[in-house]
Structure 1
C-alpha cells in the first residue's frame, strides 16, 4: 500500500513540476495566464447601487490617440462612457479584450469607448492588428481624473450621462454580457 501512494506522489510531483515549469518559461507563461483569466472573465461586473455611485466632477483630462489626434475628456460630458485602462503585456487585459471588441462593435456609435494604455504605438499597433481589434487606443497626455484611482490593470469604468460611475471593475470581466448590455441600454435611454 505504501508503494502505491509513493508511486502516485511521484506522478503528482512530476505533474506539479511540469505546471510550474510552464508558468516560469516566458513563452508559455502568458498564454496560460490568459487562459486562466478568460475563465475568470466569464463573470459580469456588478452594478454600483445608485446611492453609492461616485460622480465624476473633474473632466480635465487630455488624451492622444494612436494617430496623434488629441481628445479632450471634457467632450465626454453628457455621454455614456466606457473607460478601460490596459496594456498589451497584461494577461487579464488580453483575456477581456474579445468581450470589449464585441461590445464596441454594437455600441461604438452610441457609447464613447476610451481604452487607455501607457504603451507606445509600436507596441499597441501589432497587438491590435494581430487580434483584429478596431477600437481606438489612447495615451494620457495629462493625469487622469483622480476619481479613477488606477492602481492595477485592467481597470474599467462605465459612466452615465451625468458622470456617475455605474460600474467600476478591477480585473478581467465579461463586458459583453447580457447584464452589461441591459445596463448600457438603460443608461442610453436616460
Structure 2
C-alpha cells in the first residue's frame, strides 16, 4: 500500500507567544524613543523602593565655590550669600527621563521643607532655558522655583550627569553629592537633611 506524502500544516502567525513577543518589542521601542515612557518606568521603580539615596558616614567634605543663581524673575543669589544655611542643589533638565521621574520627589521635599529657615532648595535647569523649564513646572503642577546659573559650574559640583544633587552644609562645604535618579522623599534622607539644618 502506497503511503500518502506528509503535508506540513501551515504555521499560525497569531499565536499567544508571537503576540506577547510583539507587545514586548513595541514596549522596548517606546522606552528607547520616549522620554515620558522612560520617566514613567523609573518613577514606578522609585515607588517600589528602588533608587534610594545612599547616605554614608563618610562625607564628601570639600569647600564649595561661589556660584550665582538667577530665577525667572531675574532675582539673583549666590552660594556665599546663603552661607549659614543648608543648600540642596538639584541639576536637572526637561528632556532628561531620570530628572522627570525624580522631580515629584524633589517637589515634595521642597513642599515639606520650604518653611524651614535653615534649608534652601535650588533646582537648577542645566540648559539655562526658562522658556522650557518654567512651563514644565507649571504643566506638572510643581511649586518648585526654577534657577539658571550665571557663573561657570566646577566639575566637582556638576560634571554633566543628570540629575545630580549636591548638599552644601552651613559652613559652605559640600557634604553630599549624588549623580543619577534618587527618591528624595526617603525618611532617612529627610532626617539627614534636617539634622544638618540643626547643627
- Aligned mates of 1:23, 1:185 — CA distance in 2: 37
Name the residue aligned to 1:168.
177
- Aligned mates of 2:154, 2:191 — CA distance in 1: 27
Name the residue aligned to 1:155.
164
Q: Is the 8 A contact 1:95 1:172 kept in 2?
A: yes
Change beyond 3 A, Cα 1:22–1:57? closer
Give CA-to-partner distance per residue, 1:126-179, whole Å, 9 cap, x none.
111111112211111111244203221000012221233332211111101101
- Aligned mates of 2:45, 2:21 — CA distance in 1: 26
Match of 1:58 among 50, 53, 65: 65
Name the residue aligned to 2:139.
130
Q: Which runs of 5+ in 2 are unaligned?
A: 1-10
Q: SS of 1:172's equivalent?
A: coil
Name the residue aligned to 1:75.
81
Structure of greater Rg: 2
Q: Is the 8 A contact 2:70 2:147 kept in 1?
A: yes
The residue correspondences of 1:1-190 to structure 2 (distance < 5 A) are 10-24=18-32, 26=33, 29-41=34-46, 42=49, 43-50=51-58, 52-59=59-66, 61-110=67-116, 111-117=119-125, 118-190=127-199
Give CA-to-partner distance per residue, 1:8-53, whole Å, 9 cap, x none.
65344323332233235x5xx1222011211343432112424x42
Q: Which runs of 5+ in 1 are unaligned?
A: none
Name the Cα RMSD after superposition.
Answer: 2.3
Q: Which moved more, 1:157-166 or 1:131-140?
A: 157-166
Change beyond 3 A, Cα 1:108–1:97? same
Deviant stretches of 4+, over 6 Å = none
Q: Which moved more, 1:171-180 or 1:118-127?
A: 118-127
Shift of 1:125: 1.7
Shift of 1:103: 0.9
Q: Greater RCO between the two (CA within 8 Å, min separation 6)?
A: 1
Change beyond 3 A, Cα 1:109–1:145? farther
TM-score by length of 1: 0.84
- Aligned mates of 1:163, 1:56 — CA distance in 2: 6
